[in-house]
Amino acid sequence: MPLLFLPLAMPERAVPFLLGPLLVDAFAIVLFNVSGISDARTVVPERLLRRTTASRRFVVWGTVPIDSVAGGAVASVIGLRETNLVGAIDSTVGFLFLLLSPFRSMRPAPALEADA
């Protein structure tokens, strides 16, 4: 949600509108990584943990180059400020999807507890 302030950054007041949201976003990325790895360690058996971690990293971080190229293409068509707004809205919608999903109530499966 703080990324919605990025398009408001004008040259004369750019620092608070860029630094604040990006710091909050960096903190959210750390929380996302820590909670994602912790959840995987909770529900995935030890024998599958390396594969799960590799797959998670590929899906989460492997799409960054594709997103960068897509963002550059969109920015060349509609402009940089508008592209930042589209990205901020996309990030907010993604967060809401996770917030409203059943992921928050996920518990280890009974069959997996025997592996632990």
The string of DSSP letters for 20-70 reads HHHHHHHHHHHHHHHHHHHHHHHHS-HHHHHHHHHHHHHHHHTTHHHHHHH
Cβ of 32: how many Cβ atoms within 10 Å? Answer: 13
Per-residue pLDDT tens over the stretch 20-55: 888 988 898 899 889 888 888 888 888 888 999 899
pTM of the model: 0.64
6 or 59, greater pLDDT = 59
Question: Whose CA is closest to 85, among 69, 74, 96?
Answer: 74
Determine the pLDDT at residue 32. 84
